Amino acid sequence: MSLLTLSGSPHLQTDRSVRGIMFDVVIALIPALLVSMWFFGLGALKVTLVAVIACVFFEWLITKYLLKAASTVGDGSAIVTGILLAFNLPSNLPAWIIIVGALVSIGVAKMSFGGLGKNPFNPALVGRVFLLISFPVDMTSWPVPRFEGYMSLGGITDAITGPTPLALLKAEKLAELPGYVDVLLGNMGGCLGEVSAAALLLGALYMLYRKVITWHIPVSYLGAVVLFSGILWLVNPGIYVDPLFHLMTGGIMLGAFYMATDMVTSPMSKKGMLLFGFGCGILTILIRVFGAYPEGVSFAILIMNAFVPLINKYMKPKRFGEAVQNG
């Protein structure tokens, strides 16, 4: 008889793996990628491919030659970071800038902390913010999508650039704002993944169904945005736009469903998640309305990332037997 294996219980483990979770996120991001290709042409695909390949390459390079450890590329997290970084960039960004962003995301924000699971800040957002501060001009010249863009694939990407709705807002050009239908479908200026709220929602539903994310962070994030921008709008509709417009423009959908929900950099308890999302929402509107930048999602999430250890320390899950009921 062969030797029997000994181990502690339980003797069953789920089929779910880190790799499976990461690929679920990739699947969820595909509709948004397709929509941005529709509006921005092949430029969107180019930016995404460059970012993904650079992220995977840098992770492989660092594990192999700097850490001299087993490669962690197989877990798929670098692919997710690559796609999320690309979704935060304009579609006409030069490849070398994207590669610098990927190096900052993977090298500085992720691997220097010890790789997947150890990073306090969302790697894609760190890369994005680094690029925004370092290359402000390239990072804010947005190609203008044309609904007929798909007919001239790649042809328009570098040709015309224009402001995002939020930049218009910042410049107090309310009259030039696009309509709701365009905003919902993504027919407006912006980053790759910022444009289509509808496609992002579709992917988010898939992630909820696959239990990759829970509702807590997105709902409290969006709720806080509606609440805060709603109050401002009610106070003076002349200078502040309504909450719906805030929800569907910029990176709020991408941020609330894909970036703030990043498992590694969000709180562990449900109460903590609600607080985290709420903080992200308030900070986003604060920066949008009163800050120097037209868009505040990246900064808001990064600031809240810094609070996660504190939130984890004080927001404990509800313990069994804590509230003694005798019903």
Partner 1 sequence: MKTFTFTLGGIHPEENKISEHSPVERLEIPGQLFVPITQHLGAPAKVLVNKGDQVKTGQLIARGEAFISANIHAPGTGKVSKIDVHPDQSGYRKTMVVIDVDETEVWEDGIDTGTSIIRSIPYAKEEIIQKIKEMGIVGLGGATFPTHVKLMIPDGKKVETLIINGVECEPYLTSDHRVMLERAEEMLVGVQILMKGLGVNRAVIGIEKNKPDAIAHLSTMAAGFPGIEVAPLMVKYPQGAEKQLIKSILNREVPSGKLPLDVGCVVSNAGTALAVYEAVQKNKPLIERVVTVTGKNVKHPCNLLVRVGTPIQALIDKAGGLPENSGKVISGGPMMGKALNTLEAPVTKGTSGILVMQQGESLRKEVQNCIRCAKCTQVCPMGLEPYLLAQEAKLEKWDMAEADKVMDCIECGSCLYTCPSGRPLLDYIRVGKSKVGNIIRTRKN
Residues near partner 1, by CB under 8 A: 1-2, 4-14, 16-18, 20-21, 75, 77, 114-118, 214, 263-270, 312, 316-327
Please, which residue, 70 or 137, has the CB nearer to partner 1?
70
User: CA geometry: angle at 251 spanning 247 and 256, to 5°?
Assistant: 70
Closest CB 18 distance from partner 1, rounded Å: 5
Closest CB 116 distance from partner 1, rounded Å: 5
> Can you tell me the distance from the alpha carbon of 309 to that of 307, in angstroms, rounded to the nearest whole number?
6
Please, which residue, 15 or 148, has the CB nearer to partner 1?
15
Please, which residue, 4 or 175, has the CB nearer to partner 1?
4
Which residues have C-beta within 8 Å of that of residue 208, sequence separation ≥ 6? 214, 215
Please, which residue, 94 or 114, has the CB nearer to partner 1?
114
Tell me the two tokens of residue 182.
């365009």
Question: Are the beta carbons of 187 and 178 closer than 8 angstroms?
Answer: yes
Closest CB 30 distance from partner 1, rounded Å: 21
> Can you tell me the distance from the alpha carbon of 33 to that of 89, in angstroms, rounded to the nearest whole number?
12
> Can you tell me the distance from the alpha carbon of 110 to that of 115, in angstroms, rounded to the nearest whole number?
5
Please, which residue, 13 or 236, has the CB nearer to partner 1?
13
Task: Using DSSP, state whether 239 is helix, strand or coil.
Answer: coil
The residues with which 161 forms a beta bridge, in sequence order, are 143
Please, which residue, 8 or 238, has the CB nearer to partner 1?
8
Tell me the two tokens of residue 296.
């505040």
Closest CB 282 distance from partner 1, rounded Å: 23
> CA separation (Å) from 200 to 45, 123, 194, 228, 254?
17, 20, 9, 23, 7
> CA separation (Å) from 303 to 87, 105, 287, 312, 320?
20, 16, 12, 15, 32
Closest CB 301 distance from partner 1, rounded Å: 15
Please, which residue, 31 or 218, has the CB nearer to partner 1?
218
Closest CB 203 distance from partner 1, rounded Å: 18
Closest CB 298 distance from partner 1, rounded Å: 20
